Structure 1
Amino acid sequence: MTLASSTTSAGVIGPSWALVVAAVLVSGLLLAGPALRRRYPVAWWMLLGFPAVVFRVVHTWRPLMAGCGLAVSRRPALTVVSGLVGKGTPPPQPRVPRCGLIRPTSSGFALFVRLLPGQVPEDFVKAAPAMAEGWQVHAVRVTSWKPGVVRVVASAADPLASPRVPKQRGPGHLLRVTVGVLETGAGWVLDLRRVPHWLIVGATRSGKSTLINALVAGLAPQPVALVGIDCKGGMELSLYEPRLSALATNREQAVRLLTALVDLTLDRMTVCRAARVRNIWGLPDKERPVPVVVIVDEIAELFLVASRNEKDEAQAAGTALIRLAQLGAALGVFLVVAGQRVGSDLGPGVTALRAQLGGRVCHRVADPGTAEMALGDLNPDALKAAQAITPEQAGTAVLASSDGWERARSHLITESEAEAVAAEYAHLTPVLSELHLEAP
């Protein structure tokens, strides 16, 4: 009897202590939640935020799909009605798309959904705002994964509110720079080897200069040549002058510099043809010429004209830029073209150049035409997202390429930091004798 009693008592006490310990741990997490969220947001999300969201997703999945029109009745409508009238039985539960495993990310979660017959990814794209409201998260993005399957990615909070980007140590990968953070929480990486030419637009104080600062700061430690064209007297790009192999500060200089860059590109073409390779990356390391990144600030200054002579200069500059965009990617010359305003009113050269710039970044702009010029030919949804950026969201931008579009925010690099980086790596500046700016 005594042994049985002790066994029974141990069996009761064991689960009781386990419940007490579990209650204490949960209480401690709840009490420490705010501090944990501030100091260790990823840990807070994994321990508290993610389990709570998983519960909401599972609990609301069926009614949410039905409310968004994504559920399908198991019987034809007349069969259901006759069953209700004739037998008084409840109708069968509608079929809903099957939800896959919910996987956590650093600031949200992702899941795959298998579409029902007759459904298309656009149906789920339209339902994304309702999903965000139902799951109480910041935003939901839906993308097509493969035929019959969509990928749903949710962000629990806005990672663009206070982006945290680790400082780059060392040169890193050639022509690849982390300049900020994406809305998904991942790093915003500009890889010029993958997308060689970029158009960056944005109004004053929208974050355009900050993005260029971040890009130059990331490229400065790398074995590349940086070339600047700033026809506003060098007011912006002169910050990096110690690290620039050449800098043009007016249109006349810009035309000579661009012409020299075209000649450099043609010389490299001859070298590649003699070596029977299709680009400079097929050459041996010791024979490969240094990559050149050309940064053009305020593109409108190159194309605005007030006289016949200026018209000829603008046409020459535009033609050279288009040739560089067409030939440069394979021959190690990359373009980053920036401006406050980019529109077809600047001339046909701008439209032709825009077609060659496969990467686009649109900050807040002062006129809808600039946003249309930057993003309209790639993705209408990206255009809507860019037009929704407010003045309070400085640094926030929409980036688009052939791979799709994302919201992002650049890492803050101040003018003093940009100057310090240029001075620190000035000894790495390649000397390119071809890029001479002396007047003929």
Structure 2
Amino acid sequence: MELASAASADVTWPSWVLVVAAVLVPGLLLAGPALRSRYPGAWWLLCGFPAVAFRVVQTWRPLMAGCGLAVSRRPALTVVSGLVGKGAPPPQPRVPRRGLIRPTSGGFVLLVRLLPGQVPEHFVKAAPAMAESWQVHAVRVTSWKPGIVRIVASAVDPLADPQVPKQRGPGHLLRVTVGALETGAAWVIDLRRVPHWLIVGATRSGKSTLINALVAGLAPQPVALVGIDCKGGMELSLYEPRLSALATNREQAVRLLTALVDLTLDRMSLCRAAHVRSIWGLPDKERPIPVVVIVDEIAELFLVASRNEKDEAHAAGTALIRLAQLGAALGVFLVVAGQRVGSDLGPGVTALRAQLGGRVCHRVADPGTAEMALGDLNPDALKAAQAIAPEQAGTAVLASGDGWERARSYLITEADAEAVAAEYAHLTPALSELHVEP
């Protein structure tokens, strides 16, 4: 009796699978368009990813062979002699072994082990062919570890129209989501992890939009915002209700930067007295408030027309370099922005650039600025930044010691940023030591 029941179960189990599949697949096909528009993440996991994964599996061997990434198992003469002598079919070539295909929010990731003699550049050249074969928006290949590459595919363009996420409360201290990465993940600027940033971009490239997003994210947080805008404050004065100090010309900037250096040295003495190596080792009640310094149009600080201006520019550059060297452990962070940044502005700019670990490069008007921003970190990032078209406003290449990504900031208008600054003006800390006389 039990054997009969078991046999019956074995017979009905495949039938039930077929019935469920017959109902589920047409349902997904019918509901697919609505599901894709309202719940794109769910649609991708249920419909899009399985279809793309099937294409990857089916096309892997012929794709590797077509891109020159497959290797014959036997020398060519041996293969020919075998065909002539025995009529045997030619042996299948060896192809790089791939790992599991893991879905992401808008694509997938897989690791591939290289064959002897292969280098990651071979797969980088084959990336467009992979995207075409798998019918996805883009494929990017990076080196994962020696002998292994990481393939990241994006099913759609996540940079086409990134949406500002709904945020509840101030979030993590000094951590702001400012846009979307090409992989579909959130673009996060975390000043605790990468304390100092250089942001470059031509007019209408998205540089100001990125600063708006950064200010809007920092405004609800318990931090002090300090502005230096030597173009008369035309840009940063929008956020003045939320700024603890604002310098609108170079003379004021030198005084403010000098005061910031003094503040940093005071915090150093505080940490030394408490026997800690940074302010983050102090108790919460004793910890000084973090200070984020936003410098807009760095060239205005370094351009000189007289001996007096040369002395001011030197003093400003020296103070910025000292803040970059000492500030991370003492709660002072730099965000330096400019349309043009080059070595022609003086050696101070090059020395400062070396201290700014995070780099963001939008479309730029001259290749020297892109070279200054990304050239010392990653040559591939430099090529990607130089390929940004004028119509791709907001798109940027960001790089740090961890690698590089293409990204796009959220569209936060000046009016929106100004409204956020006014809304959180009551959180502006009064730092009397940073007071700047007009």
Cα 1:65/1:15, change in 2 over 3 Å: closer
Cα 1:85/1:379, change in 2 over 3 Å: same
Q: CA deviation at 1:10?
A: 14
Question: Which whole-Å deviations, capped at 9, do the CAs of 1:54-75 have from their partners, x for residues lacking one?
Answer: 1110110001111122111111
For the 8 Å contact 1:199–1:336, the answer to whether it is kept is yes
Aligned residues: 438
Q: CA deviation at 1:2?
A: 23
Question: Which whole-Å deviations, capped at 9, do the CAs of 1:230-286 have from their partners, x for residues lacking one?
Answer: 011111111111110000001110010001111111111111122221111111211
Cα 1:390/1:3, change in 2 over 3 Å: closer
- Cα RMSD of the aligned pairs, angstroms, is 2.9
Cα 1:88/1:257, change in 2 over 3 Å: same
For the 8 Å contact 1:293–1:333, the answer to whether it is kept is yes
Stretch deviating more after TM superposition (400-409 or 389-398): 389-398
Cα 1:16/1:202, change in 2 over 3 Å: same
Cα 1:259/1:95, change in 2 over 3 Å: same
SS at match of 1:129: helix
Whole-Å Cα distance in 2 between the matches of residues 2 and 406 of structure 1? 61
SS at match of 1:286: coil
Q: CA deviation at 1:120?
A: 2.5
Whole-Å Cα distance in 2 between the matches of residues 3 and 262 of structure 1? 84
SS at match of 2:222: coil
Cα 1:308/1:155, change in 2 over 3 Å: same
Cα 1:254/1:14, change in 2 over 3 Å: closer
Question: Which whole-Å deviations, capped at 9, do the CAs of 1:30-79 have from their partners, x for residues lacking one?
Answer: 33333322222112212221111111101100011111221111112222
For the 8 Å contact 1:138–1:154, the answer to whether it is kept is yes
Stretch deviating more after TM superposition (49-58 or 112-121): 112-121
Whole-Å Cα distance in 1 between the matches of residues 9 and 321 of structure 2? 82
Question: Which whole-Å deviations, capped at 9, do the CAs of 1:197-232 have from their partners, x for residues lacking one?
Answer: 000001111111111111111111111110000011
SS at match of 2:432: coil
Q: CA deviation at 1:436?
A: 2.1
For the 8 Å contact 1:224–1:293, the answer to whether it is kept is yes
Q: CA deviation at 1:167?
A: 2.5
Cα 1:105/1:14, change in 2 over 3 Å: closer
Cα 1:13/1:93, change in 2 over 3 Å: closer
Q: CA deviation at 1:28?
A: 3.7
SS at match of 1:434: helix
SS at match of 1:393: coil
Q: CA deviation at 1:295?
A: 0.1
1:214-293, aligned counterparts within 5 Å? 214-293=213-292
Q: CA deviation at 1:14?
A: 10
Stretch deviating more after TM superposition (15-24 or 164-173): 15-24
Q: CA deviation at 1:119?
A: 2.3
Whole-Å Cα distance in 2 between the matches of residues 246 and 4 of structure 1? 84
SS at match of 2:433: coil
In structure 2, the residue matched to 1:4 is: 4
For the 8 Å contact 1:225–1:244, the answer to whether it is kept is yes
TM-score (norm 1): 0.94
For the 8 Å contact 1:165–1:187, the answer to whether it is kept is no
For the 8 Å contact 1:168–1:218, the answer to whether it is kept is no
For the 8 Å contact 1:137–1:156, the answer to whether it is kept is yes
Cα 1:71/1:274, change in 2 over 3 Å: same
Cα 1:414/1:5, change in 2 over 3 Å: closer
Stretch deviating more after TM superposition (108-117 or 285-294): 108-117
Cα 1:4/1:86, change in 2 over 3 Å: closer
Whole-Å Cα distance in 1 between the matches of residues 262 and 406 of structure 2? 37
Cα 1:15/1:284, change in 2 over 3 Å: closer
Question: Which whole-Å deviations, capped at 9, do the CAs of 1:367-391 have from their partners, x for residues lacking one?
Answer: 1111111111111111111111112
Whole-Å Cα distance in 1 between the matches of residues 267 and 2 of structure 2? 94
Q: CA deviation at 1:86?
A: 2.0
SS at match of 1:263: helix
Question: Which whole-Å deviations, capped at 9, do the CAs of 1:136-160 have from their partners, x for residues lacking one?
Answer: 1111122222333222111000000
Cα 1:220/1:4, change in 2 over 3 Å: closer
Whole-Å Cα distance in 1 between the matches of residues 9 and 286 of structure 2? 79
For the 8 Å contact 1:113–1:152, the answer to whether it is kept is yes
Whole-Å Cα distance in 1 between the matches of residues 89 and 243 of structure 2? 75
SS at match of 1:112: strand
Whole-Å Cα distance in 2 between the matches of residues 133 and 382 of structure 1? 23
Stretch deviating more after TM superposition (175-184 or 279-288): 279-288
For the 8 Å contact 1:165–1:181, the answer to whether it is kept is no
Q: CA deviation at 1:24?
A: 5.2
Q: CA deviation at 1:26?
A: 2.9
Q: CA deviation at 1:11?
A: 12
For the 8 Å contact 1:280–1:331, the answer to whether it is kept is yes
Cα 1:243/1:3, change in 2 over 3 Å: closer
Stretch deviating more after TM superposition (79-88 or 185-194): 79-88
Whole-Å Cα distance in 1 between the matches of residues 381 and 402 of structure 2? 12
Q: CA deviation at 1:89?
A: 1.5
Stretch deviating more after TM superposition (402-411 or 166-175): 166-175
Cα 1:5/1:169, change in 2 over 3 Å: closer
Q: Name stretches of at least 5 consecutive residues in structure 2 with no aligned partner.
A: none
SS at match of 2:429: coil
In structure 2, the residue matched to 1:104 is: 103
Whole-Å Cα distance in 2 between the matches of residues 131 and 317 of structure 1? 50
Whole-Å Cα distance in 2 between the matches of residues 17 and 188 of structure 1? 45
SS at match of 2:372: helix
* 4+ residue runs over 6 A deviation: 1-6, 8-18
Cα 1:88/1:253, change in 2 over 3 Å: same
Stretch deviating more after TM superposition (161-170 or 129-138): 161-170
Cα 1:4/1:223, change in 2 over 3 Å: closer
Cα 1:2/1:301, change in 2 over 3 Å: closer
Cα 1:237/1:92, change in 2 over 3 Å: same
